[in-house]
Structure 1
Amino acid sequence: MKATWEKIEKNLGVLDVEVDAERVKEALDKAFNKVVKKANVPGFRKGKVPRPIFESRFGVESLYQDAIDILLPEAYREAVDQTDIFPVDRPEVDIEQFGKGQSFKFKAKVTVKPEVKLGEYKGLEVPVRKAEVTEEELGAELKRLQERHAELSVIEDEPAKLGDIAVIDFDGYVDGEAFEGGKAERHSLELGSNSFIPGFEDQVVGMSTGDFKDVEVTFPETYHAEELAGKAAVFKVKLHEIKRKVLPELDDEFAKDVSEFDTLEEYKADLKKQLESRKEQELKGERENAVVERAAEGAEVEIPDAMIDSEVENMVRDFDTRLRQQGMNMDMFLSFSGQTREDLESQMKGDAEKRVRNNLVLEVIAKQENITASEEEVEEELSAMAEAYRRSAEEIRSILAANGSLGSLKEEITLRKTIDFLVENSVAVEAPAEEASKEEASAE
């Protein structure tokens, strides 16, 4: 097989491929063996029609499309390997020649991984903060722990307020007609969670147990269900029950209940150490992100839209997985948030482009510095995965190899090593007070 690659512009080029006639013949044979099983020819059982009779009745051309479907994918893969290119999107294929006794010629217009021109990536100055835990942060963590260990108490003689959990029936109508998904019974709604249509929860605030109320809202213009977007709706609501969180006292008894310590002071000291350790990890991540961002900003690269679109798909898929782990799904999230899938993808596009750029730059730096994943490092990673999944390392290796993911594991290790390299070769400078306060506020 002959294959040549010609770049025509930026990240676009053309593969010119010619496959010899012998392989065309093999593909036609495979196509015949497939098609003959379904061929109806008087006097012959299905699958028993002789090849000459089949071709005389239907023409050899009737096998061409199946033969192309068999031969084209493998020829394309071989051409990609032979010319050492890295496609990032489906090719546009133009068949130039295919026939019995002929070679198979085709051209494939291919978008490939872009070239990266590195800027400075060693000695980059990166602002860092000290892993100090303030009394305010310690207090906020204790408050969070109180919330986690709070008990729900049924409130009977007070109206509902923000933070309460209201157990309600609701029945929604638009233009006097009930609509799908607008009805539920004894639904637990945390007031102030903003999980319902804007304005709904605010109108439940102030209701008392046993109350009935018409809640009037307007669906957002961007609501995922087009037939409801921008429409005014009335929900008939009945409040069955109000539940309120009762926080435990912060005392020695609380410390005994949630830890192995006997006093609150001992527990607070240990909690502060945990927060410092957590903050050290966060700051480590911040420094890694910062140095990668700096290296990527200094590089020149034009990213194909196909790579960004592919990364957006990965991010949406990961987001859906996280939603399912929390007992939700994508449809529920879009319904509650009043967004469409296109809205979500649009929001993710900027981060997707940044991810692609960063990974491209890290990949080139790894090549420049000869950073690779050793077999020992791969084995260590497999052992860690084996322990986490309670399988043997060999089983994990076999599974990854069968899924074609073993190469991805090596790439992930190489990526981490490259980030470590950038951090080791960066210069830590103290973050300005204003920048540090902004980062702390963002973390909170």
Structure 2
Amino acid sequence: MKSTVEQLSPTRVKLNVEVPFEELSGDFDRAYQALAQQIRVPGFRPGKAPAKIIEARVGRQAILEQVVNDALPAKYSQALAESETNAISQPEIEVGDLVYGEPLTFSAVVDIRPEITLPDFATVSVEVDPIEISEADVEDQLEELRQRFGTLTAVERGVAEGDFVTLDLSATVDGEPVEDAATEGLSHEVGNGELIEGLDEAVTGLKAGETATFTTTLVAGEHADSEAEVTVTVQSVKVRELPEVDDEFAQLASEFDTADELREDLRRQVSDSKKYEQAGAIRDAVLESLLESVEFPLPEKVVEDEVEATQHQLVHALGHDDEQINRFLEAQGKTREEWDAEAKDEAEKSVRTQLLLDAVADEAETEVGQDELTQQIIMQAQRYGMPPQEFIQQLQNANQIGALYADVRRNKALAGVIGEVTVKDTNGDVIDTATFFGGNDDAEAEAEGDDA
């Protein structure tokens, strides 16, 4: 087999491939064997009919077409390997005329990775906010803990903001009841704005057993965007009473014996959270700096596929209903053109990021061990609340194991870059990124070798 590569653009090539007819002999043998099992020929046992008889039954051209269809993926992969073409998209394949006994010719147009020249990472410098822990941060954590252990107590007064109420709701549109808007015993915290517009104002001041009516616009269901008259009845009014912060509370809410010990542990938790936030800021800053400093063309087809995949998720979720899509965009305050433009911008940044980090990983010869991949799978499974084995099965069914591996490799490559760049906070202090991202293994190994 021989192939040539024609450069169509910096990110797109055309492979022209010619496969000698003799190289298809094995594919013909397999095709005849498969057909012999399917075709019943009088006088021959299943699978034993000669090729000539099978040809007479099926037709030589039909067999040739089947052989080519079966052989094409392997021949295309072989052409990629032999020409060292780094394809990153599905090929657009065009097969030449099929003539029995003549070479198989086909062309494949495919996107490739552009040439990317990486900077000297030691010259890169980024700046992030310093870690600052205030007593207010600790008190906020303490308040959340108090809320968690608070108790609800009924009161005999009118509803006020922050109260917890139990409600019965019903609604009508043009005098007709709306079934999916009716409910009883609905729990609600007044003032959180999670339910329909106008509800909190309507119940404010009402006592248990009292009713109010108000007008609002429904946002979901059959009558979405319709004006409805809603009737609300308050069944109960309760307030949350919070425990005092003392040693007794510390023993109830934690493993600590005193309130001072509890506060100190909350301070440590706040510190850990701030460090995690700073690590994320460092990662984003370094990646953004690299994206700004490295220019390279983007493969258009890959970007188009990314846009289509992103928009398809929303379109599918909305049942491919143009009316629902338009309502969604209207709620977002966007036109279809603005949505398309945003999707393209996001796709371009995503593709640019992937290609850049792939280039970093290639230059550093970054490898991902089985333990690292397994750890990422476990973390993502926990995030989705799934058993790891079930999550792995879903990844396999969706052919996403390779994509997950690529993401882990990119993140590992970026962590290696972060170990080389200079990171300071806005106070001018240098941050030891090894705390978050580990050290430079190559540098440590070289230092150990020098010491030896």
User: Which TM-score applies when normalising by structure 2?
Assistant: 0.69
Task: Report the Cα offset of residue 234 of structure 1.
Answer: 4.5
Letter in 2 for 1:116: I
CA distance in 2, matches of 1:12, 1:417: 28
1:425 aligns with 2:403: no
Following superposition, the deviation at residue 92 of structure 1 comes to 1.5
1:294, distance to aligned residue in structure 2 (A): 0.8
Distance 1:34-1:148 versus aligned 2 partners, 3 A rule: farther
Q: Which residue of 1 aligns with 2:248?
A: 253
Match in the other structure for 1:137:
137
Q: How does 1:398-409 map to 2 (within 5 A)?
A: none
Match of 2:287 among 288, 292, 295: 292
Compared CA separation, residues 69 and 213, structure 1 to 2 (3 A): farther
| Distance of 1:66 and 1:99 partners within structure 2 | 13
SS in 2 for 1:114: coil
Cα distance 1:36–1:366, how it changes in 2: closer, same or farther (>3 A)?
A: closer
Separation in structure 1 between the aligned mates of residue 39 and residue 181 of structure 2, nearest angstrom: 54
How far off is 1:96 after superposition?
Answer: 1.0
Instruction: For residues 207-241 of structure 1, give each alpha carbon's deviation from its aligned partner in whole angstroms, at most 9, with x where no partner exists.
Output: 55445555533356xx7x8x756443445555544
**Does structure 1 residue 116 correspond to structure 2 residue 116?**
yes
SS in 2 for 1:122: helix
Report deviation, 1:45: 10
Deviation at 1:106, TM superposition (A): 1.2
Give 2:358's aligned amino acid.
Answer: E
Structure 1 contact 24–102 (Cα < 8 Å) conserved: no
Matches within 5 A, 1:42-57: 51-57=51-57
Counterparts of 1:171-250 in structure 2, within 5 Å, are 182=181, 184-196=183-195, 198-199=197-198, 203=202, 208-212=207-211, 214-218=213-217, 230-235=225-230, 237-242=232-237, 244-250=239-245
* Partners of 1:383 and 1:43 in 2: CA distance: 56
Unmatched runs of 5 consecutive residues or more in structure 2 = 382-387, 429-452
- How far off is 1:60 after superposition? 2.7
Tell me how large the CA RMSD over aligned residues is: 4.8
Deviates more, 1:81-90 or 1:410-419: 410-419
Aligned to 1:283: 278
1:69 aligns with 2:60: no
- Contact 2:196–2:216 (8 Å) recurs in 1: yes
Q: Structure 1: any 5+ residue segments left out of the alignment?
A: 320-328, 390-394, 434-444
What letter is aligned with 2:11?
N
**Distance verdict in 2 for CA 1:206–1:62, change over 3 Å:** farther
Cα offset, 1:89, TM superposition: 2.4
Deviates more, 1:178-187 or 1:267-276: 178-187
Alignment of 1:333-412 (within 5 A): 339=328, 350-368=345-363, 370-373=364-367, 378=369, 381=372
Structure-1 separation of matches of 2:56 and 2:16: 33
Q: Distance in 1 between matches of 2:78 and 2:136?
A: 62
Tell me, in whole angstroms, the C-alpha distance in 1 between the residues paired with 2:294 and 2:101: 51
Percent identity of paired positions between Structure 1 and Structure 2: 28
- 1:89 is matched with 89
Q: Is the 8 A contact 2:360 2:414 kept in 1?
A: no
Kindly state the Cα deviation for residue 79 of structure 1 after the two structures are TM-superposed.
2.1
Q: CA deviation at 1:40?
A: 8.6
Contact 1:3/1:18 (<8 A) preserved = yes
CA distance in 1, matches of 2:370, 2:66: 43
**Secondary structure of the equivalent of 1:6?**
strand
What SS does structure 2 have at the residue aligned with 1:118?
coil
Work out whether residues 25 and 101 of structure 1, in 8 Å CA contact, stay in contact via their aligned partners in 2. Answer: no
- Aligned residue number for residue 149 of structure 2: 149
Other-structure match for 1:78: 78
Displacement after TM superposition at 1:14 (Å):
0.9
- Give the secondary structure class of the aligned counterpart of 2:102: coil
Q: Does structure 2 retain, via aligned residues, the 8 Å contact 1:293–1:358?
A: no
**Contact (CA 8 Å) 2:376, 2:408: kept in 1 or not?**
no
Retained in 1: the 8 A contact 2:361–2:409? yes
Tell me: CA distance 1:355–1:255, structure 2 relative to 1, closer, same or farther (3 Å).
farther
Give the whole-Å Cα distance in 2 for the aligned partners of 1:181 and 1:44. 67
- The amino acid of 1:378's aligned partner reads G
What residue in structure 2 maps to residue 438 of structure 1? none
CA distance in 2: counterparts of 1:217 and 1:44, whole angstroms: 79
**Number of corresponding residues:** 404
TM-score between the two structures when normalised by the length of structure 1: 0.70
- Residues 218 and 100 of structure 1: CA distance in aligned 2, closer, same or farther (over 3 Å): farther
- Range that drifts further, 74-83 or 305-314: 305-314
CA contact (8 A) 1:168 1:238 kept: yes
Q: Please give the secondary structure, in 1, of the residue aligned with 2:294.
A: coil
Between the aligned partners of 2:94 and 2:378, the Cα distance in structure 1 is 50
The question of whether the paired residues in 2 share the 8 Å contact of 1:171 and 1:237 is answered with yes
CA distance in 1, matches of 2:205, 2:124: 56
